[in-house]
Structure 1
Amino acid sequence: MPKNRSRSSQDLKRSKPRRTARERILIVCEGSKTEPNYLEEIRQESRISSVDVRVLHSVLGTEPKQVVESAEAEFKRTKGYERVYAVFDRDDHLTYDTALDMAVARNEKWKNDEGVATKFEAIATVQSFELWLLLHFEDIKAFLHRTETLARLKTHIAGYEKGNKGSYAKTVANIQTAIDRATALKAKFDRPPSDDAYTDMHELVSLLRGLKAK
Structure 2
Amino acid sequence: MAGGQRRRPTRPHRQPARRILVVTEGTRTEPQYVEGLNRYLRSRGATAIVKPVSVGKDPLKVVQKCVEKRDEAAQNDKGYDESVCLVDVDEHQTLPAAVQLAEREGIRLLISNLKFEAWLRWHAEDKRSVLTSTQLDDLVAKLGLVKGKILSQSFPFHHVHSASVTARAIDPEMRPGRKGPNPSSAMPILVELMQGA
Give me the TM-score of the superposition, normalised by structure 2. 0.77
Secondary structure at 1:81 match in 2: coil
Match of 2:165 in 1: 180
Secondary structure at 1:138 match in 2: coil
- Choose from 179, 183, 200 the match for 2:186: 200
Which residues in structure 2 correspond to 1:82-93 (within 5 Å)?
82-93=81-92
Q: 1:67 to 1:142 in 2, by over 3 A?
A: same
In the alignment, the residues of structure 1 paired with residue 28 and residue 129 of structure 2 have an alpha-carbon distance, to the nearest angstrom, of 27
- Choose from 118, 121, 129 the match for 1:131: 118
Secondary structure at 2:22 match in 1: strand
Which digits, 9 at most, give the CA deviation of each residue in 1:110-130, with x for residues without a partner?
xxxxxxxxxx20011011111
Match of 2:27 in 1: 32
Q: Which gives a bigger RCO, structure 1 or 2 (Cα 8 Å, sep 6+)?
A: 2
Return the offset for 1:195.
5.5
Match of 1:58 in 2: 53
Which residues in structure 2 correspond to 1:91-170 (within 5 Å)?
91-107=90-106, 120-157=107-144, 160-164=147-151, 166=153, 169-170=154-155
Opposite residue 98 of structure 1, the aligned amino acid is: A
In the alignment, the residues of structure 2 paired with residue 19 and residue 158 of structure 1 have an alpha-carbon distance, to the nearest angstrom, of 37
Return the offset for 1:165.
5.2
Instruction: Looking at secondary structure, tell me which structure has more strand per residue.
Output: 2
Q: 1:147 to 1:188 in 2, by over 3 A?
A: farther
Return the offset for 1:183.
0.6
Q: Which runs of 5+ in 1 are unaligned?
A: 1-17, 108-119
In the alignment, the residues of structure 1 paired with residue 28 and residue 39 of structure 2 have an alpha-carbon distance, to the nearest angstrom, of 16
Q: Which runs of 5+ in 2 are unaligned?
A: 1-12
Count of residue correspondences: 178
Preserved CA contact (<8 Å) 1:38 1:165: no
Give me the TM-score of the superposition, normalised by structure 1. 0.72
Which digits, 9 at most, give the CA deviation of each residue in 1:40-73, with x for residues without a partner?
1122334469x94311112544310010000000
Please identify, of 135-144 and 198-207, the stretch whose mean Cα deviation from structure 2 is larger.
135-144
Return the offset for 1:161.
2.1
Match of 2:6 in 1: none
Give 4+ residue runs of structure 1 displaced > 6 Å after superposition: none
Which digits, 9 at most, give the CA deviation of each residue in 1:65-91, with x for residues without a partner?
010000000011122011000111111
Q: 1:97 to 1:77 in 2, by over 3 A?
A: same
In the alignment, the residues of structure 2 paired with residue 172 and residue 186 of structure 1 have an alpha-carbon distance, to the nearest angstrom, of 21
Secondary structure at 1:151 match in 2: helix
In the alignment, the residues of structure 2 paired with residue 165 and residue 70 of structure 1 have an alpha-carbon distance, to the nearest angstrom, of 28
In the alignment, the residues of structure 2 paired with residue 164 and residue 158 of structure 1 have an alpha-carbon distance, to the nearest angstrom, of 6
Match of 1:11 in 2: none
Q: 1:159 to 1:68 in 2, by over 3 A?
A: closer
Q: Does the alignment pair 1:44 with 2:31? A: no
Superposed CA RMSD in Å reads: 2.8
Which digits, 9 at most, give the CA deviation of each residue in 1:120-163, with x for residues without a partner?
20011011111001112333335322211111222211762213
